[in-house]
Each structure stands twice: as structure tokens, then as C-alpha cells.
Structure 1
Amino acid sequence: MKRTAATALTALVLAAALSACSSDNSTDAAPKKTTRPAPSAPSKATADAEADSGIPPKPSVAMKLAYFRALTGIDPDIVHGKEDKAVDRGLNQCQTIHNFPKDKGKQTKMAEMRFTSPHHPEGFGKVKAAQIIVAVHTNLCPKF
């Protein structure tokens, strides 16, 4: 009797599991809607907090183009076909400018370390690093 009850219980559980997994393949079934919240723009509070910590807003296309022109004018090898990398390095340099606004030596040192290329693995030197800082500050984070 116990074996029969256990078998019946197992069959019942399997039947319930299979019915829960079944799908309706009929053509007149309405498609199921998924509810995802729409992506929202960052709030002003988030933008203010990021600016306070030295994270500038994402640059516009026009800002990027002006930045690339400025870097290419200093040395075409600074960007070397890696535009996204150049923007990331510039935004990181913005944080250095923000965090060390009066320490030009620190800003220059970080720019020398940050802006490298296959032909300039040790950076572009102090003079070009200072010019890079101006290009970054002017085009990516002028409010810092």
C-alpha cells in the first residue's frame, strides 16, 4: 500500500510539473508582454554627485571631434586609431584635473603615464603631456 501511494504521489507531482511547463502553441494566443522599466536619463542628483567626484558627463559628438582634432594637432600618434581609448583616457585625466587642480606636476605625470601608444610606450614627454592636459580640459571637462 505504501508503494502504491508513493507511486501515485510521484505521478501526481510529475503531472503537475509537466502541466506547469507546457506552452500554448495555438495561433490565437495573445503575445505575452514583458514589462521592463524604460531606461531613464541620469538624475540631476546623480550627475551632480559624479561632477563632485570628478567624473565629467559623457562628451557629445562635437566635443569628441574637437578633442580628437586637438590631440592630433599635438601628435597624430596620441589617438593612433583608438578613439574610444583616447576618450576614456581623457575622462580619467579629467578626474586628475578635478582632484589635483593646483598640482600641475601631478597632472602632467598622470598624463605622461596615461597617454601612451605603441610608438610612445613611455608617453609623449612633459611638453606634449602639458598640451594634452589643455586639450582634455578644454574639450572634455571645461567646468573643472
Structure 2
Amino acid sequence: MNRTATALLAVVIAAAGLTACGSDDKDGSKSAAKTPPPAAAPSTPVSPTPADKPLASAEAKNGVPPKPDAATQAKYIRALDAISPAIVNGKEDRAVSRGRDTCGTIHSFPNDRAKQVDTTRQRFSGATQFNAVQAEKILAAVQTHLCPKN
């Protein structure tokens, strides 16, 4: 018997035992026994399901590449840090996510470099505002490392 079935069986037996027992109150009536909340099922690692595939395929259709491998990510982060350390600012996952989204912008507006640069400037600006020259360099780093096919 697997662990989930064993845990469920234990909860059912415990609940049945508690409902069979009652206690007499001062007035002689029986009060309902309180059933404890069911035990949580043991956690198991979640593996990617076919339901995750539509998201990946929708991203790919929109020009958003998969997450880069460690070596590619390291090169990308170094390229951004060379432009300005304020771009990554210790938040590599955010920089990668923004870069992947920028690949989508490049894909969506392949003939509009001004739109690509402006969207990149806005996407990467936060506490630090980047100018068009910096955004052009960020865009080049994104294209080189994350979406060279765009």
C-alpha cells in the first residue's frame, strides 16, 4: 500500500473511532466529538506535466527563448555588468527574465529598432533609469546571449 493510501486509511479509522465515542454533558446529552482536520498527504516532487508544455510552446511562438544554461547566463550577466552594475544589481533571475521578455519584443517588432530600444530601456529601468545608449547596449547583450536567432 502506498503512503497516501495509508495516511488516508489512518484518517478514516481515526475519524470513525472518534464519532463512535461521545461524552455525556452535565445535562445528560451527548456532545458531538470534534474530528481533527485530515492529515496532509505526503509531499512528492512535482515533475513537469504535459500541461506545462503549452506555456513553453506559447513562449517559443512569441519569440521568448527557454531559460539559458548556467554558462550562457553567466556570460549574459557579465555583459550586463560591463554596461552597468545597476542593471543586474544582484538579481540575476530578474535580469534573465527581463532579457527573455526582451527577446519577445524583438520577435514582435523585428523591423522597429526604436521600439525595441525604448521597450528595453523601460523594462530594465527601475530604481536606476537607463538612457537610450545604455538600452541599445543591453539590447545587444540580450540578442547576443539569449536570443541570437532573433
TM-score of the aligned structures, taking structure 1 as reference length: 0.66
Percent of residue pairs identical:
45
Q: Select 2:107's aligned residue among 83, 87, 98.
A: 98
Give the SS at the match of 1:50: helix
Inter-partner Cα distance in structure 2 for 1:127 and 1:92 = 19
Instruction: Give RMSD over aligned pairs.
Output: 2.9
5+ long unaligned stretches in structure 1: 1-18, 24-33
Q: In the TM superposition, what is the alpha-carbon distance from 1:36 to its structure 2 partner?
A: 8.8
TM-score of the aligned structures, taking structure 2 as reference length: 0.64
Q: In the TM superposition, what is the alpha-carbon distance from 1:82 to its structure 2 partner?
A: 1.1
Aligned to 1:83: 92
5+ long unaligned stretches in structure 2: 1-9, 15-42
Structure with the larger RCO, 1 or 2 (CA within 8 Å, 6+ apart): 1
Residues 81-117 of structure 1, C-alpha deviation per residue, up to 9 Å, x if partnerless?
1111111111111110110111010001101111124
Q: Select 2:146's aligned residue among 137, 140, 144.
A: 140
Inter-partner Cα distance in structure 2 for 1:20 and 1:129 = 59
Inter-partner Cα distance in structure 2 for 1:136 and 1:71 = 9
Residues paired across the two proteins, number: 113
Q: Select 2:48's aligned residue among 28, 39, 42.
A: 39
Contact 1:80/1:117 (8 A) holds in 2: no
Runs of 4+ in structure 1 off by over 6 angstroms are 34-37
Inter-partner Cα distance in structure 2 for 1:117 and 1:38 = 35
Q: In the TM superposition, what is the alpha-carbon distance from 1:52 to its structure 2 partner?
A: 2.2
Aligned to 1:21: 12
Q: Select 1:57's aligned residue among 66, 72, 76.
A: 66
